[in-house]
Amino acid sequence: MGTDANDTPLKLTKKGHSCVRLEKGGRTLVIDPGGFSEQESALGADALLVTHEHPDHFDELRLRAAMEANPEARIWTLRSVAEQISGAFPGRVHTVGHGDTFEAAGFEVEVHGELHAVIHPDIPRITNIGFVVDGLVFHPGDALTVPERPVKTLLLPMHAPWNKFSEVLDYVRAVSPAQVYDIHDGLLNDNGLGVLNRMLGEGGPGTGGAAHDHLRSGEGVRLAR
């Protein structure tokens, strides 16, 4: 993988729940524009990544709108999602899995992980992949996958039917990033966010050294390399 792409500043914008936009050099990559993110969250994307088929991560109408608005846009996702949308956009939907690497609109992407976290033994597990972008930021989807490489910025699934706080905290410590930003928080009100943010900050056991911040929808940051 080349190094030139990794020298360009990378901006991250939170777009609601588990959706983020990454921008550099005039190109835009969107991850998981699902049903809990803003209606326009995928519009303007040059590349779209989808971690799995659950509707809070995969919304076909949002993807279709983005693909129709930009005939050059492409999707990279796992088979269960590709099978649902590839027929509408022949040659523009790419199936990827654990261990794959590819370039998407100038962003260098690695795929990590294979399965969704266990919700309950009675509920069959589905597939799930996570994405490391430009060797800098990791979006795990609905799993607590520890990538087999260091990542500086972790997008942390804060709250879901499949996790609890002790697992969230231990996950941060296992990945050992320099910076953590919350995702997967669409079911939390301000009270819940306040409690969890205190637990990950000075009022709780802490993250093991990682800086932790919460971005509200629409807020953006420049990611340090």
The pLDDT of residue 5 is 53
Whole-angstrom distance, CA of residue 140 vs CA of residue 123 = 20
Tell me what percent of the residues of the chain surpass a pLDDT of 70: 97
The pLDDT of residue 224 is 76
Per-residue CA distances from 23 to 30, 53, 207, 220 (Å): 9, 24, 27, 10
The two structure tokens encoding residue 212: 């932790």
Whole-angstrom distance, CA of residue 17 vs CA of residue 20 = 9
How many helices (H) does the chain have, and how many strands (E)? 4, 14
Q: What is the 3-state secondary structure (H, E, C) of 114-133?
A: CECCCCCCCCCCCECCEEEE
SS3 of residue 96 by DSSP = coil
pLDDT tens profile 58-79: 999 999 999 999 999 999 999 9
pLDDT tens profile 30-63: 999 999 999 999 999 999 999 999 999 999 999 9
Domain boundaries, the chain: 11-210
Q: First and final CA of the chain: distance in angstroms?
A: 17
Whole-angstrom distance, CA of residue 72 vs CA of residue 94 = 13
The pLDDT of residue 3 is 45
Residue 4 has pLDDT above 80, yes or no: no
Residue 2 has pLDDT above 70, yes or no: no
- The beta strand positions in 113-209, using DSSP E, are 130-133, 137-139, 153-157, 179-183
Distance of alpha carbon 190 from the chain centroid: 22
Q: What CATH number is given for 11-210 in this structure?
A: 3.60.15.10
The pLDDT of residue 1 is 45
